Structure 1
Amino acid sequence: MNTHPGIITLLGIAASVSLLSGWRLYLCILATGLAMHWHIVPLPEHLQALRVLASPWVMGAATLATLCEFFADKVPWIDTIWDTVHTAIRPIGGALLATAIVDPSDPTMQVVAFILGGGGALLAHSGKAGARAIVNVSPEPFSNIALSTTEDIATSGLLYVVYAYPYVSGAVAVGLLVLTGGMICVAWRTVGRIFRRKPTASRARP
């Protein structure tokens, strides 16, 4: 029986992984590598290009990077610096992961996956960075830690869902897009309110 998924399913998987890479690139790499190494998620033939992620060297580097991101992402303002540094890294990583997911014998689809994967990762990264900048304004650190931990859990859980049940990957991708769009809209509105308050405050001074 041919279990090779169709083009829509492939694009759904690629879109979901690239969007999640905009949140946690190193966790995406590590979780995928561990799943393949321990055979938790049996990858179909078309995803065997990702088997390089199960290399001990790749998983070791991804583990170190994941730990660094785990702690840096939970400290106010340090997380903003981390996000700024990764503005280019996450989209490139998301694009490469998306390219590895699609059929390597189809150059056109690989180019499409690379472009859309990079764009999706950049979009998700922008929503994450914007939401985190707003949370950092809060004087207490707990909201930052809670949001970061939620991202950790959501990324791990959704990665498993996408690989274990590829037929729902399209719905996962759409949900992530809607969530990312909402985060960006909230960030823009909050920034707009902050800038509108400043002139008012200036006129109120004697």
Structure 2
Amino acid sequence: MSVLPLVFTSGWASGINAYAVVLLLGIFGATGVSDAVPESLQRPEVLITAGVLFLCEAVADKVPYVDSVWDSVHTVIRPAAGAWVGAVLAGHSGSLSDVTAGLVGGSTALASHTVKAGTRMAINTSPEPFSNVVMSLAEDLGVGGIVTFAMFHPGAAAVIAGTLLLSGLIVLVFLISRIRRFLRRRAQRREERRLAAQPGRPPDPSSW
């Protein structure tokens, strides 16, 4: 059976939370739930590292603005993780070339990461912090649920992941204008603070 559906699903999930994907796949392989997981993902040091980083992401991902900084740092990490997971899954299966699997996993992870990062930027335009927590929990549960489902029904899981990815890209298009307004306001505030810090600048009459 082709490993492509699992590669696609893990790539989509890696773009949202790469550490959760590595951790879940490793646990499923180590506990014998699935024989599709290579030993390189089951190694104790890999599981421990993924677990620690998952906990770090679980905290950072729920704090407004910190989540966007975290996403920026992971712009390279998540697609690279998706490509690596795809390649090792393909190498273990032998039904798909490593290069093809790496391209599928990496490109899918980049697309879902773009959706996540863009959506978080739009959410951060809201003054309340609760939406970040809700979105983060939904993402974590979604990744966990779909990766688990993919262990038993990879084809159906890939369809769900593809539908979510397409829906997310469509929503992101509608959020772009909101993100642009947010970035313009933030740039304006930075410029106002810079001007206010200049020595000898006359006071703003509006503050009288």
1:153 Cα deviation after fit? 0.4
Q: What TM-score results when the alignment is normalised by the length of structure 1?
A: 0.81
Question: How far apart, in 2, do the equivalents of 1:94 and 1:105 lie?
Answer: 16
1:169 Cα deviation after fit? 3.2
Aligned to 2:169: 181
Question: How far apart, in 1, do the equivalents of 2:63 and 2:158 lie?
Answer: 33
| Structure 1 unaligned residues grouped into runs of 5+ | 198-206
CA pair 162-105 structure 1, distance change in 2 beyond 3 A: closer
Aligned to 2:25: 32
Bigger shift: residues 123-132 or 101-110: 101-110
Out of 78, 98, 106, which is 1:110 matched to?
A: 98
Question: What does 1:29-178 correspond to in 2, within 5 Å?
Answer: 29-39=22-32, 41-43=33-35, 47-49=36-38, 51-103=39-91, 109-178=97-166
Question: How far apart, in 2, do the equivalents of 1:48 and 1:185 lie?
Answer: 35
Identity among equivalent pairs (%) = 33
1:183 Cα deviation after fit? 3.6
Out of 17, 20, 27, which is 2:13 matched to?
A: 20
Q: What TM-score results when the alignment is normalised by the length of structure 2?
A: 0.80
1:106 Cα deviation after fit? 6.0
The letter of the residue matching 1:80 is S
Residues 95 and 116 in structure 1, CA contact (< 8 A), matched pair in contact too: yes
State the superposition RMSD in angstroms. 2.3
* Equivalent pairs, count: 185
Local SS of the residue matching 2:23: helix
CA pair 132-96 structure 1, distance change in 2 beyond 3 A: same
Residues 26 and 37 in structure 2, CA contact (< 8 A), matched pair in contact too: no
Structure number with larger C-alpha Rg: 2
The superposition leaves residues 128-180 of structure 1 with CA deviations (integer Å, 9 ceiling, x where unpaired) of 00000111111111011000000010000000001121231331232232133
1:54 Cα deviation after fit? 1.6
CA pair 194-82 structure 1, distance change in 2 beyond 3 A: closer
Local SS of the residue matching 1:87: helix
Question: How far apart, in 2, do the equivalents of 1:28 and 1:140 lie?
Answer: 29
Question: How far apart, in 1, do the equivalents of 2:140 and 2:91 lie?
Answer: 29
Question: How far apart, in 2, do the equivalents of 1:35 and 1:106 lie?
Answer: 19
Question: How far apart, in 2, do the equivalents of 1:84 and 1:32 lie?
Answer: 25
Residues 98 and 114 in structure 1, CA contact (< 8 A), matched pair in contact too: yes
1:181 Cα deviation after fit? 1.4
CA pair 98-147 structure 1, distance change in 2 beyond 3 A: same
The letter of the residue matching 2:30 is H
